[in-house]
Amino acid sequence: MRITRIETQQKRRDRVNLYADGEFAVGISKETLLRAALRVGDELTPDQLNALRSDEDVFQTRAAALRLLARRPRSERELRDRLREKEYADADITRVLADLRAAGLVNDAAFARTFIRNALTLRPLGEIQLRQKLLVFGIERATVDDAIREELGAVDVDGIALGLVQKYLARTAGRGPADDPQKRRRLASAMLARRGYSWAVITRVLKNLNLPDDDAS
């Protein structure tokens, strides 16, 4: 086969239609065409045509992955799952993810650390909740444990939890006897438990609240 025409698509200016022997052969991106270095008049074997289609599939898979990453960071498994939902081939997904890892655009360890930092800033969570959420993203447990140890070790976890409790109790003060220390302890511990704080943290925070003893109320 000989390439007889290459024309830009009307609706997709970043793509071209390639014709061989006067017949439509394949639609590909201009990037794929440039990498193949094909011009009108070149010979095009069936193997070359199949290679063009394969390269185009990888290009489209990579473009979809980059669009997903442009919206927000993603774990490797999350990205793989989303690409599968879009029905890209597993072989192409695996190749693209390998390229993105090599380029530093997919990094589960960095994703875990960023997730924890964002959570501590926007809506503080305890170690239990952070671990559960990161495992759901498909990050290996050892990677999660390292990230939690590193990030929580750099902040005052008890202080953050105490601030959450103080704000929460201030908001709920009108929902019952404001001077009932037992109720305040229950509210505080339940709220921190929902946020995933460990019992050790909850116990220390309750002590720092300086509430009267239950038997003294």
The pLDDT assigned to 68 comes to: 97
Q: How far apart are CA 47 and CA 61, in angstroms?
A: 21
pLDDT category of residue 169 using cuts at 50, 70 and 90: confident
Tell me if domain 1-44 and domain 59-106 are identical in fold: yes
Q: How far apart are CA 192 and CA 151, in angstroms?
A: 19
Q: What is the pLDDT of residues 51-78, one digit of tens each?
A: 999 999 999 999 999 999 999 999 999 9
pLDDT at 6 over 60: yes
Question: Considering all CA atoms of the chain, what is the largest pairwise distance in Å, rounded to the nearest integer?
Answer: 96
- We find that the CATH architecture of domain 1-44 is Orthogonal Bundle (1.10)
Amino acid sitting at position 107:
N
The pLDDT assigned to 178 comes to: 52
Q: How far apart are CA 2 and CA 43, in angstroms?
A: 4
The pLDDT assigned to 217 comes to: 38
pLDDT at 216 over 60: no
pLDDT category of residue 211 using cuts at 50, 70 and 90: low
Q: How far apart are CA 80 and CA 93, in angstroms?
A: 7
pLDDT at 134 over 80: yes
- Burial readout 167-188 (b: 16 or more C-beta within 10 A, e: otherwise): ebbeeeeeeeeeeebebbbebb
pLDDT at 103 over 80: yes
Residues 6+ apart with CB under 8 A from 111: 73, 74, 75, 137, 139
The pLDDT assigned to 110 comes to: 96
- We find that the CATH architecture of domain 59-106 is Orthogonal Bundle (1.10)
Per-residue pLDDT, averaged over 179-187, amounts to 78
Label residue 139 exposed, middle or buried (CB < 10 Å: 0-12, 13-18, 19+): buried
pLDDT at 215 over 60: no
Q: How far apart are CA 185 and CA 181, in angstroms?
A: 6
Per-residue pLDDT, averaged over 2-23, amounts to 92
Q: So where are the chain's domains?
A: 1-44, 59-106, 108-152, 157-216
Structure tokens at 84: 């599968």
| DSSP code at position 43 | B
Q: What percent of the chain has pLDDT over 70?
A: 93
